Structure 1
Amino acid sequence: MNEQNETIERPMEQSTKANDLRSTAPLPEARTTASIAPQSGGGTCGCGCAASSPSNGTSTVSYVYAIGRVEARFPNLSAEKEFAQATGRTETAGKTDQQTFHAVLSKRENRYLVRQLCWVLTIQGMDTYLLTARDPADVDLLVEAIRPAPTPNDIDVVIGLRGPIASPEMCNGLMVPIVAFDQIYSFDRDALVKAIPRPEKTTAAQFAPAAEELFNRIIQMTDNAGATDEHRALNYLAMRYPAIYAKAAEEFGQASSLTGVEVRLSPLSGTRNIVDVIFSYTNRNTDFTEKFSVRCDMTEEFPFLVTKLSPYYDR
């Protein structure tokens, strides 16, 4: 089927059709050129998790597609003191503590400090994963996640492989799962909303609140750590598929409320792991509920669309 095999690579704001199957990096300024280590039978991801093929029946790989905030922490006193010495060699007059922290890490000669720090992904304020790069060149993605002037709307999306629980020595006693990441996108909510193509008949004043409400609904779902197929699918769609936002704005404009977001295993699942993501909208005047679904393939690390958003009927 042509839709399933279509290459997904253009920026969101370049899409001219809200229901187009093509999906991309969430923002034009997000880095999309990180080297990705191929997964093959018998290899490892560098974090203690096997990288065998998911289709051979023996895979122990657990994929992560998580939305949260990346934080840098000192694993021990030695690293903290070394950072303080590097700070003394950096021009920091007039800078805040956060700007100073960013300035020190951004210097090429201080890249060794980036590798010494421990990097934590927090989700809804909870320490959730300890991050490590599968490709050492990708440590720059960690630095980009540290903003000189952070805001509550900052978002980091981490895509990678989940490994074992970290030992207490790795990050000053923090024991959470290790994620070997292949990609990190760092941006803020306002930039995300502006990057989503707005339907022609919807004003900016109508579209922005609709997009923000749907995004918040997805990331605030209970225990969404981006590790299950259900949550990976929701996070993937929130970042990469503008049609769900266009539909939300359209339904809100017709006096309907978003009353449900559900993920079900698709009847098409067999050798591939395919799920249906179902959005329910109920008219505030008539109580009539309409459902729309989009189908995603979650078999490997990078999800992709199988069918576009279309009406869904319970069987």
Structure 2
Amino acid sequence: MKSLSIQAGTITGNGFQQQQLPWHGLTKSTIKPANNEEPNNWIYVVGKINALFPSLSLEQEFLQASQIAGTPPPANSMASDQVELEQINSQPQQSKWLYNGLSQPQNLYIAREMNWVLENTDNNHLFSLLPTSNQCLLQLISALSPDTGNIILVGQRLADGRVAVSNITATNTPALQQVAQQEQSKSTSFTQVVNELLSLNANNGESNAERAINFTLYNNDKIYTETYGFCYQPNTSGANPSGYQLVNVQVKTQTSGDRLIAKVIFHYQGINTGASQSWYCAVDVTGEYPFITVPWKQYLCH
């Protein structure tokens, strides 16, 4: 398949603790009508959790607590000044030590004072995070585990730029679990399709288009099976016997009453012809938690 990209437009009209947690400590804004121009700042993003020491004193406190708990730090993890502290904070291999120490119940007071951040797969900073409850803080600590990998974070962007965390879940959602089961019975071409589609999650998850595509990737297994079928299981007696390849993914939003609906449109082109066809998944992105309204349907451009 060709490299894919997201286009946004508007048309009128595990070992990981997964808990559905209530919101504590902050007052969330109510859902605005879809045609309200004020941004709601909802976040639905994929990345990795990291914890940084905000000060040398807290790092030293954590070192002492780790030694008492029998979870000593790895080599070169003791800072003597601010420069060394910044170097420690930039080492991704620190996550196992941080997880082992912060997951001790007696060290929860340290976890509360850590700077929690969300990073992309290249370890680049995306957001500073604000845990909104003790349960949420435990989710962040669990996400530090080396066995966790990428996570899905849902929250709200605050005026100071931080993201108030509502919930964290693992990326092995039920839809992705079904895809993984099918990978075992299909060729390596299916795995290639899955990996290329999942690469679309490389975004900040802030806009309605990004939230819609991220939610679709992890909650709709049809996009994987249908894309694979179009390309590698063509109808030899059909209009394009060589099959279709996915060439573009586009997101268009529209209002439906007081709801905001995002259509994630997958455009396919004939491998040996100029024939084309498009299919879409519709996602309601009005509130903080998106949900699918149309799993898979042919899209007619107009």
TM range (shorter): 0.7 to 0.9
Q: Which amino acid aligns with 1:78?
A: S
**Paired position in structure 2 for 1:79:** 58
- Stretches of structure 2 lacking an aligned partner (at least 5 in a row): 1-13, 76-93, 235-242
Cα shift at 1:94: 10
Q: What is aligned with 1:164? A: 159
Q: Which runs of 5+ in 1 are unaligned?
A: 1-26, 39-43, 166-176
Which residue does 2:246 correspond to in 1? Answer: 258
CA contact 2:175–2:219 (8 Å) conserved in 1 = no
Residue 133 of structure 1 pairs with residue 115 of structure 2: no
CA distance in 2, matches of 1:310, 1:288: 18
Task: Measure, in 2, the Cα distance between the counterparts of 1:133 and 1:270.
Answer: 34
1:105 aligns with 2:102: yes
Deviations 1:249-274 (A, max 9, x none): 112213432110000123x5331111
Query: Cα distance 1:188–1:32, how it changes in 2: closer, same or farther (>3 A)?
Result: closer
| Counterpart pick for 1:242 among 221, 226, 230 | 221
- Larger Rg over CA atoms: 2
2:265 match: secondary structure:
strand
| 1:274 correspondence with 2:261 | yes
Structure with more contact order per residue of length (Cα contacts < 8 Å, sep ≥ 6):
2
Percent of aligned pairs sharing the same letter:
23
| TM-aligned CA distance change 1:238 to 1:187, over 3 Å | closer
Q: How does 1:1-315 map onto structure 2 within 5 Å?
A: 31-37=17-23, 45=26, 51-55=29-33, 61-92=40-71, 98-123=95-120, 124-148=122-146, 154-165=149-160, 177-187=161-171, 194-196=177-179, 203-216=186-199, 218-220=200-202, 224-253=203-232, 254=234, 255-266=243-254, 269-315=256-302
> d(CA) in 2 for partners of 1:231 and 1:264?
11
Aligned-partner SS, 1:55: coil
Alpha-carbon spacing, 1:230–1:58, altered in 2? closer, same or farther (3 Å): closer
For residues 210-256 of structure 1, the C-alpha deviation after alignment (integer angstroms, 9 at most, x for no partner) is: 1111111x123xxx210110000000111111111111211221343
Per-residue deviation at 1:70?
1.2
Change (3 A) 1:182 1:225: same
How far residue 78 of structure 1 moved from its aligned partner, in angstroms, is: 1.8
Aligned to 1:173: none
Q: Once structures 1 and 2 are overlaid, which stretch shifts more, 126-135 or 256-265?
A: 126-135
Task: Tell me how large the CA RMSD over aligned residues is.
Answer: 3.1
Question: Aligned residue pairs: how many?
Answer: 260
| 2:156/2:165 contact within 8 Å kept | yes
Structure 1 residues 298 and 148: alpha-carbon distance in aligned structure 2, compared to 1, 3 A threshold: closer
User: What amino acid is the match of 2:157?
Assistant: R
